């Protein structure tokens, strides 16, 4: 029975958390689980001098990241970040793949008669065959294993040679490096056509080989394993390694983190990253995207300019601002020093030009004004352009999932396509508003400068309809550029 009185009470939704860069610090002085931190004291408890894995560099980076309040133009500061600790990375030699067989230590359930020919198949591969001949009757696992001495088989372009130890037979690839995986299958037949199989229990194990890894590559492998097994919910990252070889490896890792259209099409998830590094190498160069590097001299590296630069400009995110003309401060400077900018490295005009040509950022001074030049990634793209593009991709994806999850059904029709397209329009409109400033706005209408092409039902193919895949929505937008260079012209007239 319907009630005559119904009271519904609605509450305002809780405010959503402010978007941030999702910063991760990577420490390499010892293993520590990933954890969210909000202050220096908590970091010092783990990475300080008396902590379980001391790392003065990480403590300095965190301190300078958080202490940018005197010089940043952002309205807020970084208020949380993650740190994970890894063991110190070291070079690893190449290792060969192995295929091992363990026979029973006791007597065989089925003895094998003397002067018997046997055909052994490895990994279920009819081309990976070893032929054996018994001299005497075989009654134990050790006697059977002994038959495999000095035998070999080939699979996946590699040759595997046998060594016998008691009841164990271990085939080792004669070449180091990763190999095609071999199924853990092992069969012994009494006829050449391999129709009659002996019922002999055996434990089989395949261990793949590995290529030689430098210490930087070993760190990258550790990061990838961390992503896969523990935490991939981070975007912007820094490490405690400043050596050029590490900076290059980390830059390439960040560049490779953005999946291609083909990779996205086969289900690869988009977990793109952005790396901020620092270097003391005046000739550092690495034409990679998704990474920015700031130079400082060797004696000033403890100011951690990568972290101070991040703390100074990062809080603007997701609003689009130029990373040029910013003045990071030395967050670790003693209180008696007052507000102290990171120190100006000594550079000749030629060295400055070299850094600019290599797209490496650095603190400069022009007409008694200090600022970071040029606010770019290692491939020359502006940092704000990369961050802004990443925000659009993330926001558009989030909005599309919201539509798909909040609607019981979306018709495969023009109307349904239009509903899906609202995610594109909303993301681009938000990117153009004043709180983001990522997409340029028309000077007269103040509308974002972008176009969206929505497909119709008639544009879809029969296969797309059968698989419920709508045709692509395409869009173009003009990213908002900041003024980086200003030229003025004038005439000076004097009366003498």
Distances (CA, A) of 253 to 104, 259, 334, 483: 46, 12, 36, 31
Cα separation, 292 vs 269, in Å, equals 24
The band of 116, judged by pLDDT with boundaries at 50, 70 and 90, is very high
Tokens (6 digits) for 152: 């070999």
What does the pLDDT read at residue 481?
66
Q: DSSP 3-state helix, strand, coil percentages of the chain (rounded to 5)?
A: 30, 25, 50
Distances (CA, A) of 483 to 2, 321, 323, 441, 477: 65, 10, 11, 15, 19
Strands 186-189 and 450-453, by their bridges, are unpaired
Phi then psi dihedrals of residue 418, to 5 deg: -65, -40
Question: Strands, E, within 123-250: which ranges?
Answer: 129-133, 138-140, 152-155, 158-165, 168-173, 186-189, 203-207, 236-239
Query: Does residue 443 come out as left (phi exceeding 0), alpha (psi in the -120 to 50 range) or beta?
Result: alpha
Give just the sign of the alpha carbon dihedral 49, 55, 61, 66: negative
Residue-wise pLDDT for 436-481, tens only, equals 999 989 889 999 999 999 999 999 999 999 988 888 888 888 888 6
Q: What is the mean predicted confidence (pLDDT) over 211-219?
A: 95
Task: Count other Cβ atoms within 10 Å, centred on residue 423.
Answer: 20
Residue-wise pLDDT for 259-293, tens only, equals 887 787 777 888 999 999 999 999 999 999 999 99
The band of 335, judged by pLDDT with boundaries at 50, 70 and 90, is confident
The band of 106, judged by pLDDT with boundaries at 50, 70 and 90, is confident
In the chain, what's the furthest Cα-to-Cα distance? Answer: 122
pTM above 0.75, yes or no: yes
pLDDT at residue 494 greater than cutoff 50: no
What does the pLDDT read at residue 275?
98
Question: Strands, E, within 190-312: which ranges?
Answer: 203-207, 236-239, 274-279, 291-295
Task: Look over the chain and give the mean of its residue pLDDT values, rounded to a whole number.
Answer: 91
Q: Is the previous residue joined to 163 through a cis bond, with omega within 30 degrees of 0?
A: no
314 secondary structure, DSSP code: G
Task: Give the closest residue to 468 by CA, choosing from 403, 399, 409.
Answer: 409
Residue-wise pLDDT for 30-44, tens only, equals 999 999 999 999 999
């Amino acid at each position: 029975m319907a009630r005559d009185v119904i009271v519904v009470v609605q509450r305002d939704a809780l405010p959503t958390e402010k978007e941030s860069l999702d910063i991760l610090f990577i420490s390499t002085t010892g293993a520590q689980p990933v954890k969210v931190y909000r202050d220096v004291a908590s970091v010092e408890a783990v990475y300080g001098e008396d902590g379980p894995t001391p790392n003065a560099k990480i403590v300095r980076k965190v301190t300078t990241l958080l202490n940018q309040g005197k010089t940043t133009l952002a309205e807020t500061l970084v208020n949380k970040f993650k740190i994970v600790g890894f063991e110190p990375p070291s070079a690893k030699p190449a290792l060969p793949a192995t295929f091992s067989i363990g026979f029973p230590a006791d007597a065989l359930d089925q003895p094998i008669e003397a002067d018997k020919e046997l055909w052994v198949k490895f990994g279920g591969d009819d081309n990976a065959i070893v032929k054996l001949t018994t001299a005497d009757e075989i009654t134990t696992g050790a006697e059977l294993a002994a038959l495999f001495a000095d035998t070999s088989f080939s699979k996946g372009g590699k040759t595997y040679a046998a060594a016998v130890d008691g009841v164990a037979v271990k085939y080792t690839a004669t070449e180091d490096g990763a190999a095609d995986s071999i199924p853990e299958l092992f069969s012994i037949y009494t006829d050449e056509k391999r129709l009659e199989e002996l019922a002999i229990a055996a434990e089989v194990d395949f261990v793949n080989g590995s290529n030689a890894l430098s210490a930087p590559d070993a760190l990258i492998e550790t990061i990838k394993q961390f992503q896969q097994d523990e935490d991939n919910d981070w975007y912007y990252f820094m490490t405690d390694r400043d050596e050029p070889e590490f900076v290059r490896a980390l830059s390439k890792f960040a560049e490779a983190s953005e999946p291609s259209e083909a990779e996205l099409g086969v289900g690869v998830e988009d977990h793109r990253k952005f790396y901020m590094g620092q270097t003391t190498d005046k000739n550092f160069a690495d034409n990679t995207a998704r990474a920015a590097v700031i130079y400082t001299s060797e004696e000033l590296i403890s100011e951690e300019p990568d972290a101070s630069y991040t703390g100074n400009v990062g809080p603007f995110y997701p609003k689009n601002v130029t990373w040029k003309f910013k003045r990071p401060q030395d967050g670790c400077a003693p209180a008696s020093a007052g507000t102290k900018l990171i120190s100006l490295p000594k550079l000749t005009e030629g060295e400055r030009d070299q850094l600019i040509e290599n797209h490496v950022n650095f603190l400069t001074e022009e007409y008694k004004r200090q600022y970071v030049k040029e606010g770019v990634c290692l491939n020359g793209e502006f940092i704000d352009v990369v961050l802004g593009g990443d925000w659009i991709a993330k926001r558009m994806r989030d909005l599309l999932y919201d539509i798909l999850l909040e609607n019981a059904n979306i018709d495969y029709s023009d109307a349904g396509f239009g509903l899906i397209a609202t995610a594109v329009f909303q993301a681009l409109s938000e990117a153009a508003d004043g709180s983001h400033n990522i997409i340029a706005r028309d000077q007269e209408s103040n509308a974002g400068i972008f176009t969206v092409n929505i497909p119709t039902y008639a544009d879809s193919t029969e296969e797309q309809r059968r698989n419920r895949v709508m045709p692509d929505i395409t869009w173009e937008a003009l990213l908002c550029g900041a003024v980086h260079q200003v030229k003025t012209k004038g005439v000076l007239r004097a009366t003498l």
